[in-house]
């Protein structure tokens, strides 16, 4: 059984930092995409960052230069380091996993079959 579990969310002031973690279990694939999505109240779920099994990373424009996605394969853990947080970053953050080919990861929620329950990030001004 595949399981993804996020942690590390919280409340910070604008300009602060947080590191989100996503531990995975039961998921094994030689070629995959792991991604972070977020969803604010009343808004659609949007892709934030992704990492391909070959190491390629991708970020949505609004977080480039501020967020960094990484993974620790030995610990089966995905991370999202978030710096210079803004109130617009406030959302529920989800990690997701999908088997993939060689193409770049895509921020399309429907093609990710495995999801965590989410962790809340709140940034106050």
Structure confidence at residue 22 (pLDDT): 98
Structure confidence at residue 86 (pLDDT): 98
Tens digits of residue pLDDT in 25-56? 988 788 999 999 999 999 999 999 999 999 99
Separation of alpha carbons 15 and 110, rounded Å: 32
Structure confidence at residue 27 (pLDDT): 82
Structure confidence at residue 10 (pLDDT): 98
Percent of the chain residues past pLDDT 90, beyond the cut: 90
Residues whose CB is less than 8 angstroms from the CB of residue 23 and which lie 6 or more positions away in sequence, other chains included: 4, 5, 7, 75, 76, 77
> Which stretches of the chain score pLDDT less than 70?
none
Picking from 82, 68, 95, the residue whose alpha carbon sits closest to that of residue 122 is: 82
The answer to whether 90 and 63 are in contact (CB under 8 A) is no
Structure confidence at residue 1 (pLDDT): 87
Structure confidence at residue 47 (pLDDT): 98
């Amino acid at each position: 059984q595949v399981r993804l579990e996020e942690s590390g969310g919280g409340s910070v002031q604008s300009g602060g930092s947080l590191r989100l973690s996503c531990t995975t279990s039961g998921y094994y694939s030689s070629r995959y995409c792991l991604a972070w999505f977020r969803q604010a109240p009343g808004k659609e779920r949007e892709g934030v960052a992704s990492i391909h099994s070959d190491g390629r990373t991708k970020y949505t424009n609004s977080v480039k230069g501020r967020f960094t996605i990484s993974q620790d394969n030995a610990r089966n853990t995905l991370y999202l380091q978030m710096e210079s947080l803004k109130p617009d970053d406030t959302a529920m953050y989800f990690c997701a996993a999908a088997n993939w080919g060689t193409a770049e990861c895509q921020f399309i929620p429907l093609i990710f079959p495995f999801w965590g329950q989410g962790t809340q990030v709140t940034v106050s001004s």
